[in-house]
Structure 1
Amino acid sequence: MSSAPVVTRPASLTLAAAQVASEACRAKANAIKCPMNIAIVDHTTYLLHFERMPGCKITCIDISMSKAYTAAGHHAPTSTWKDIVYPGGAAYGINNGNDGKFMYVPGGIPVAQAGVDAIMKLVEKKR
């Protein structure tokens, strides 16, 4: 007797949860007086929510989306790559792949901590 394979998929971030996370990230950015582009992707690495705060650099829009893509795609902060992307490093040239969307500049975190905290509070309310 053969059993059917078990297929699992990662939990998907909802738009409502992404908006809660974005609000928390915006509050943190305001607290540290640093306007930011806030890009949130789901487990598929596709953009789910984006917010550009007033005064934020327009040139960083694509950078924020690439950071979110890289962090979600590798389940790790973009800063993970900083020591191995230099010439001669094990991942040198990796930024040339994925249509140039691979971003190793620090700051991309799989849902920034302020956003994670906000999502956890949202989950607790629903229990």
Structure 2
Amino acid sequence: MNEANINPIEFGEMKSDLKHVRESMDNHTVVLDRIEEKLNKFATRSDLEVLENRVKRIEERNQTIDGNIFMKAIAPGEKKLVAMIIKITGLGALILMVAMYVYGQSNTQQLIIKKINEETAKIKPKE
């Protein structure tokens, strides 16, 4: 009950089918070898690995530089803002100090004049 009996004609057809498959695989292998040879002329695998490493390093450097550019853009703006605030505050403080000095001097002069008038009034003989 072993059905291993194959008709010789069928066996010949199967053998020719296998031969055709083998030939087409060989043709594909030859074509792939040719493609690989042509690609190797452009760049070898080691060249591609070197290029990949360089690209990774450049990307890492760009990320670092992007952060530095952001800081470099903000830092001068902050410095200018702080300088402007110091100038305005310093100018305001200077104006305030001068105004207080002038106001204080005018009050002092008025007090001195009032005292002089009082003292001269005491000195003057009554007539």
What range describes the TM-score normalised by the shorter chain of this pair?
under 0.3
Higher percent of residues as helix: 2
- Which structure has the greater CA radius of gyration? 2
- Which structure features the higher share of strand residues? 1
Q: Which has the higher contact order (CA 8 A, sep 6+)?
A: 1
